[in-house]
Amino acid sequence: MTAEVFNVAAEEGRIGNAVESATARSITADIWLRVAMVVVVCGIFIWLNWRVIDFVQQALQLDLERMQATPPLPPEHRLVTSNVVMALIGATVVQTGIGFIAITSYLFPKRLNT
């Protein structure tokens, strides 16, 4: 039966280094996941807004064609009115606000003091 010499200081150093290394890797992974989250959410936001702008452009083009038709379209039958434009602007502002809230609440979570 051989006796193994157990050096407490050496084991503490080895375990401490492993914990520090795991903590550093965890922080690095968390940073990269947060960056990826921001990129994904911003990409979705840009794509959705691009589609809304494209839709409005197509509706305005259709309105213009209908107004230039013979007989011309009366103003009360237009597709894109001031109410439609205001609704789209309001919806975009709300969407932007919700997007920023989602990103900031993910990037800066509330710390629980327990």
pLDDT tier at 5 (50, 70, 90 boundaries)?
Answer: low
pLDDT digits (tens, 9 = 90+) for 27-73: 888 889 888 888 887 888 888 888 888 888 888 888 888 878 778 77
Q: What is the pTM of this model?
A: 0.59
pLDDT digits (tens, 9 = 90+) for 73-83: 777 777 788 88
> What residue type is 80 in one-letter code?
V
70 burial type by CB count under 10 A (0-12 exposed, 13-18 middle, 19+ buried) = exposed
